[in-house]
Amino acid sequence: MSIVIILIGLALGILTYSYSFDTNIKNIFFSNNNQNKIKGLLVVIGVTTVTYLFYYQYQLTNYFIAMELTTWFLIITTIRDCKDKQIPMDVVIITFIIGVILVFFNPNVIWTHSLIGFVGIGGIIALISVLTKGAIGIGDALVIGTIGLILGYKMALAVLLYSLVLSGLIGLGLMAFGKVNRKTKLPMVPFMLCAFLIIIIL
């Protein structure tokens, strides 16, 4: 079974790289650009490692699938947010559809908690985005809402709070070194990914 899980991780890693950088899968191994090869290998190895660790922790359960989906979603949206300065809506839609299906099969998450996570937490962030004229993007609201849909409002709220603290600390550090100013808008999704991983590890 371990070999099967590693193969699943490799497949998800290749898919993640392809979606993240909008490139052909063969560029991971056969690109003339060494930088592309390194990025591809890092993504594939990272996703494969996380997949195996999730399997070791949760076995082959619905919760394992939910955690895998969330990780895949956050990695892709993080890379695209940093690279393109926008959240890929096709990835959001795909993840949302799979997430809705998982709600009915994942005994670890109550459907009302998923509803609160998506509509409540995501809706509040969307409202803040409108009121602050984009201080927090609508895309960020969709990301945190999708996390809430898959893993429940408690996880969404924890990821949101941790990511706000992380972004604040990193922002202050960058300002101290003169890398950014108060008007600089940092991408939020990378901090959500970091917060999610911290929560899992702790």
What backbone torsions phi and psi does residue 109 show, to the nearest 5 degrees? Answer: -130, 125
Contact indicator for 116, 148 with CB cutoff of 8 Å: yes
What per-residue confidence (pLDDT) applies to 100? Answer: 92
First to last CA, the chain: 27
Q: Please give the C-alpha separations between residue 169 and each of 32, 63, 74, in angstroms, as whole numbers.
A: 38, 31, 21
Tokens of 153: 């409002």
* Amino acid found at 114: S
Residues of the chain with pLDDT under 70: 22-34, 36, 134
pLDDT digits 0-9 by tens, 50-69: 888 888 888 888 888 899 99
Prediction pTM value: 0.86
